[in-house]
Structure 1
Amino acid sequence: MELKDRLRALRREHGATQEAMAELLGIQLRAYQNYEYGSSFPNYKNFLRLADYFDVSLDYLAGRSESRERR
């Protein structure tokens, strides 16, 4: 699973809207939508914010691991 797929699944799992995620990250809605479409990627700071918000490891969020557990 790729980052775009993980973001969409985690957002839905948490009951958040794309608008709410964009606001959380301090970015425009279109910028967040591009993350979920896979046409752009979050910068390091926002990547960390996303992992913290969803309480998952960076490797899980990036699609490099199936384990959500943070170490």
Structure 2
Amino acid sequence: MDQKKIGSFLKELRKEKGLTQEQLAELMYVSDRTVSRWETGSNLPSLDILIRISDYYNVELSEILDGERKSGKMNKELEETVLKVADYSNDEKMKMMKKLHIFSWIGVVSFLIYLALDVTGLAGQGITEAIASFCSGLSLGMLITAVLYTSNSIYKIKAFKKRLLGKK
């Protein structure tokens, strides 16, 4: 795939519709800077956005990925497969975001408990000291987990774990 060619084609399609980068960005729910990066070839849209772009411009997905118009039509079965893959990708993103949301709230609540114990001076006495330490550690752990999820490092860790365990 030639990203620069794809970017030029996306720019050509946008200009054919008479849109500015800002207008296209609003339609695709991204920033105008993101559209600029697509058109220069430094980044490519995600699969779900590529499908929305192909629908909006009324071109086949294969034409966008090739960076030029084709005279033939994309196989309907292949198009359905691509749509299923995009739906699966979106479902996976939603699952990950739900987990991230839960982890974040656990971190916030545990930090608030720690903060309440610390402010009231109970964090250094008996069992409440252990609770405060646990909440402090839990909130830090949830923060680290959120960073791993948002940086996609969690997938590298999962792959490493599978290699260690010898799973496919």
Q: Kindly tell me: are residues 29 and 48 of structure 1, through their superposed partners in 2, closer, same or farther at Cα, counting changes over 3 Å?
A: same
- Counterpart in 2 of 1:18? 21
Question: Identity rate of aligned residues, in percent?
Answer: 30
Is 1:53 matched up with 2:61? Answer: no
Q: Highest relative contact order (Cα 8 Å, sep 6+), 1 or 2?
A: 1
Q: Provide the aligned length of Structure 1 versus Structure 2.
A: 71
- Counterpart in 2 of 1:67? 70
Offset, 1:66: 3.4
Offset, 1:63: 1.6
SS at match of 1:32: helix
Aligned equivalents of 1:64, 1:36: Cα separation in 2: 11
- Counterpart in 1 of 2:46? 43
Aligned equivalents of 2:70, 2:64: Cα separation in 1: 10
Q: Kindly tell me: are residues 13 and 42 of structure 1, through their superposed partners in 2, closer, same or farther at Cα, counting changes over 3 Å?
A: same
Is 1:30 matched up with 2:33? Answer: yes
SS at match of 1:52: helix
| Structure 2 unpaired stretches of 5+ | 77-168
Q: Kindly tell me: are residues 27 and 65 of structure 1, through their superposed partners in 2, closer, same or farther at Cα, counting changes over 3 Å?
A: closer
SS at match of 2:62: helix
Offset, 1:45: 0.9
Offset, 1:18: 0.5
Aligned equivalents of 1:54, 1:36: Cα separation in 2: 15
Q: Kindly tell me: are residues 65 and 13 of structure 1, through their superposed partners in 2, closer, same or farther at Cα, counting changes over 3 Å?
A: closer
Checking the alignment, whether the CA contact within 8 Å between 2:10 and 2:39 is kept in structure 1 is yes
Between structures 1 and 2, the one with greater helix share: 2
Aligned equivalents of 1:13, 1:54: Cα separation in 2: 9
Q: Kindly tell me: are residues 19 and 64 of structure 1, through their superposed partners in 2, closer, same or farther at Cα, counting changes over 3 Å?
A: closer
